[in-house]
Amino acid sequence: MDGWAVWLTCCGLWVVGGIADMKLIHAVWMFLAVLLMGAILCYAAIPVQIQPTWTYPSGVPEVAGFRLYRGAIPICKVDDPAARTMTCSDTLGYGLFPYTMTAYTADGVESAASAPFGLKVLPPAPGLTKVDKR
């Protein structure tokens, strides 16, 4: 058999060809692997503490607590309807991250999300370098 066939499950793609094609595909996969490793090594996982504060009408009997989301990911919650602040831990990379809050009932029904607010994580500033002028 002078041809070969490979099923690439991650791409859902059939590749059919000969030895020259196989070398090309191997080179492309190696290139993509190097890019991925570079992206992983450059990603900074930065632990942060977020302490949102909010206002909400007191005495609403249905409210059981509040939740904080980063995008669609729940970050933390407070099970106290009288709370107006909470401290949450998150791990972020560099960039701008949108957060929203909801109120929820004892049955788990959530309110509409708040207007998004952002948290921006910047890379560290470059250090100063002393230049010797002789």
Q: Are residues 19 and 64 in the same domain?
A: no
Q: Please indicate, yes or no, if residue 131 is contained in any of the structural domains.
A: no
b/e map 83-103, b = 16+ CB within 10 Å:
eeebebebebeeeebebbbbb
| 128 is a domain residue | no
pLDDT of residue 28: 55
Residues 85 and 36 both lie in one domain: no
Q: Which residue has the higher pLDDT, 108 or 13?
A: 108
Q: Is residue 129 part of a domain?
A: no
Mark whether 26 and 70 lie in a shared domain.
no
Please determine, for residue 27, whether its predicted confidence score (pLDDT) is greater than 70.
no
Angle at CA of residue 51, ends 80 and 102, nearest 5°: 50
Q: Which domain holds residue 17?
A: 4-42
pLDDT at 83 over 70: yes
Residues 80, 117, single domain; the answer is yes
Asked if residue 21 has pLDDT above 90, the reply is: no
Which residues are CB-neighbours of 64 under 8 A, at least 6 positions away? Answer: 79, 81, 104, 105, 106
Residues 53, 34, single domain; the answer is no
In this predicted structure, the answer to whether residue 81 has a pLDDT above a threshold of 60 is yes
CB 86 within 8 A of CB 65: no
Mean pLDDT of the chain: 75
pLDDT of residue 96: 92
pLDDT of residue 58: 76
The enclosing domain of 73 has a CATH number of 2.60.40.10
Whether residue 106 is found in the same domain as residue 89: yes
pTM comes to: 0.61
